Structure 1
Amino acid sequence: MTKKIVSIYLMLLMMLPLAKLEEISSKPTTCVAIRSKYRITENGYFTLYDSTNKPYIAFCDFQSDPGFAWTLIESLSTTSARSSKFRKSFSFNVPSNECTPNWTGYRLSKSKMTAIKSSASSTHFRATCNFNGQSQKGLQNRDDYLRVSLCAYNYLLSTRNVWTCAIVDYINVRGHSCTKCSIPFYSSNAYHLFIHLPTSKSSCARFTVPEMITNEDAFGFYHNVNIKFSCTANSTSTTNWWIGGGYFD
């Protein structure tokens, strides 16, 4: 290959978005790369590669949000979420059932989550409720749902130990929602990343959910739970956390 051809090839590569470069990689590291490379449209389990190029199985959602693909990083039942093992921020390395992904007690290792988040194609994270019942068709609605840009809150895999306001794309708790509003997040060595509704009511954009129970928690930690919130309707209800981004067709 002549120097001129090599120069043109490198110039074309530089013009491609970083996410597009991942798409043409032979070893996808995210579900976004899977969707872009293979044009798969049905949700399911697929092979991804970690930072050491070792393969592992992950669940991908291609259907819930048009134009987005999501990689599942954690799914916990209410019972599991309230256990001491999982009452930790995502900064702690507490993998569970990585070889056998499931919906009641599953969490990727910190290194795998970091590799997914570090991908140029990863732009958002989200939390859903009871996705296991929607696994073939994706979410049917946006009740009890949270989506946030990593630019707005880049502490997903960190421990903050302080309430941090972040503008979310969208949040819905028990049918009450807001778009592009500021919500307080918290995580620590004893608190999974979560939203405390009384704090949300009094700080940031003051997002208020009527008929709160005392110290009601949403999307994590779950010291005090409301059975009307679908993530915690009963002991087997699940909370699902994802990292994702837009894909190329």
Structure 2
Amino acid sequence: MLFLHGFMGSSGDWEGVAASLRGSFRTLAADLPGHGASVGLPPERYTMEGAAGAVLGLLDGLGVGRCALCGYSMGGRLALYLALRSPGRFSALLLESASPGLEDPAERAARRRADEERARELEGGDLEGFVGRWYRRPLFASLARRGELAGELARRRLRNDPGELARSLRGMGTGRQPPLWGALPALAMPALAVAGELDPKFAALARRMEREAPPLRAAVVPGAGHNVHLERPGAFGRLLREFLEERGLE
């Protein structure tokens, strides 16, 4: 099973989830462009298409012909892109707090402008200030109730190179992603869209994906916000294992 992290994350974000699957699965986790060890790359890598090519290249290099795929937030958007563009490479798909993109061109343009402003903030060099502002957004309100977890998450994010994060935002932000809603009915594998109860925007997106893609079902986790696998690791792990067991993938 291959795991893809969110913005400012790294492959290490999945250590707990991956550990829960050991004995049943060989697990892999990738550092996406601009994160972890995937830095200093050619410009074309910092796009959805370029990142997808890098993921497929990783699987090819390891001799993995087909695997299950799990992605969180930005990594979930990439996971859905991969599942729709290269369906033969993936046996199942789990999306955590992920979106098929923005349908309205004006909304995409506004998001690109917002991401450009954030990229310039990052290039200003105040990564600590940027991380603090990022996690004060309403999307992450539930983390404020989990002080120790929020602090640890912020410390991990400070390991990033702010210039590399800026490149990621400009190339892989939601405003740059081609919307995938029209392709959802063609989804050809078992899929689960997970969202937190305290993240109503993404819970609604998960339910809409369930209506529009017959192989996909939605699951909303009580007491969790945007980052379900860190806020409610036990519940997330159970959902993942049950999803795989139901489909005979263990």
Q: Which has the higher strand share?
A: 1
Same fold (TM over 0.5): no
- With the shorter chain as reference, the TM-score category is under 0.3
Q: Which has the larger radius of gyration?
A: 1
Q: TM-score, normalised by structure 1?
A: 0.27
Q: TM-score, length-normalised on structure 2? A: 0.27
Which of the two has greater helix per residue?
2
